[in-house]
């Protein structure tokens, strides 16, 4: 396992260097996504991200310049919840509920949404990024939701999804954390219906 020729235990074993910028860059991005999702912006460290990616923290700095730029590069815009908009407006709540649950369940606790909910409360910059993404995700809805208070209702829809994300995926408190996806979808559909159309 040592691989290195005849090294004493205490001896320094300078790591073998692999020269592959693109693969390293991709590995760092992936590691950063996971680390930021697990710990939030503040408690995630460049050194931990580098270790996960199998490189040194110096290389992370070389590729991304700063922790903040890495965050911006690693946390992509939320995978869309907007492709569910076309269709009968009367069943929009059900479609949104199903799309949300499916997306989150498949993300293995590393969805950008989770990352932002973890990071925004304590980082002004993350809060700004969160707000941009939220706005971009929600804008398409304004065209599909009618009524004078459409904007408010869409915002309340977002707030509800944030609350569920917080409880189920971030803090993971019971009974929401272990509720079956189907049951969650039902509850969500009912509530979103009241928010949007009630």
Residues at the interface with its own copies (CB under 8 A): 39-40, 42-43, 117-122, 127, 130-131, 134, 151-153, 155-156, 158-164, 166-168, 170-171, 173-176, 179, 183, 187, 190-191, 193-195, 198
Least spacing, CB of residue 57 vs its own copies, in Å: 21
40 binds, among its own copies, DNA, none (CB under 5 to 8 A by kind): its own copies
Q: 3-class DSSP state for residue 151?
A: helix
Contact 112, 77 (CB under 8 A): yes
Nearer to DNA by C-beta: 56 or 144? 56
d(CA 140, CA 81): 9
Structure tokens at 118: 């973890």
CB-based contacts of 12: which residues, under 8 Å, 6+ apart?
none
Closest by CA to 188, choosing from 164, 154, 168, is: 164
- Apex 93 CA angle, 183 and 116, nearest 5: 80
Is 30 a residue that touches DNA (CB under 7 A)? no
Binding mask 32-51 for DNA (x = CB under 7 A): ------------xxxxx---
Stretch that binds DNA, among 11-19, 96-104, 110-118, 157-165 (CB under 7 A): 11-19
- Give the pair of three-digit tokens for residue 20: 């592959």
Rounded to a whole number of angstroms, the minimum distance from the CB of residue 36 to DNA is 10
76 binds, among its own copies, DNA, none (CB under 5 to 8 A by kind): none
Contact 100/81 with Cβ under 8 angstroms? yes
Place of tokens 């503040």: 42
Question: Which residue, 1 or 18, is less far from DNA as judged by CB?
Answer: 18
27 binds DNA (CB under 7 A): no
Interaction pattern, residues 59-88, with DNA; x per rule: CB under 7 A: x-xxx-xxxx--------------------
Q: What is the Cα–Cα distance from 119 to 21, expressed in whole angstroms?
A: 28
Written as six digits, the tokens of 181 are: 């996806």
- Positions touching DNA (CB under 7 A) are 12, 14-21, 23-24, 44-48, 55-59, 61-63, 65-68
């Amino acid at each position: 396992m040592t691989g290195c020729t005849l090294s004493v235990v205490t001896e320094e074993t300078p790591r073998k260097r692999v020269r592959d910028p693109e693969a390293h860059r991709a590995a760092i991005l992936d590691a950063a996504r996971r680390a930021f999702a697990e710990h939030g912006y503040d408690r995630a460290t460049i050194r931990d991200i580098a270790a996960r990616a199998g490189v040194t923290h110096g290389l992370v700095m070389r590729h991304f310049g700063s922790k903040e730029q890495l965050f911006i590069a690693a946390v992509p815009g939320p995978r869309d919840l907007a492709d569910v908009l076309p269709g009968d407006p009367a069943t929009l709540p059900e479609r949104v509920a199903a799309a949300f649950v499916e997306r989150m369940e498949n993300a293995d606790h590393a969805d950008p949404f989770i990352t932002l909910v973890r990071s925004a409360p304590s980082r002004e910059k993350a809060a700004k990024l969160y707000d941009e993404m939220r706005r971009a995700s929600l804008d398409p809805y304004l065209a599909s939701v009618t009524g004078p208070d459409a904007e408010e209702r869409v915002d309340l829809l977002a707030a509800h999804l944030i609350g569920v994300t917080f409880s189920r995926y971030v803090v993971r408190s019971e009974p929401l954390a272990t509720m079956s996806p189907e049951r969650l979808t039902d509850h969500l559909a009912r509530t979103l219906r009241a928010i949007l159309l009630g």
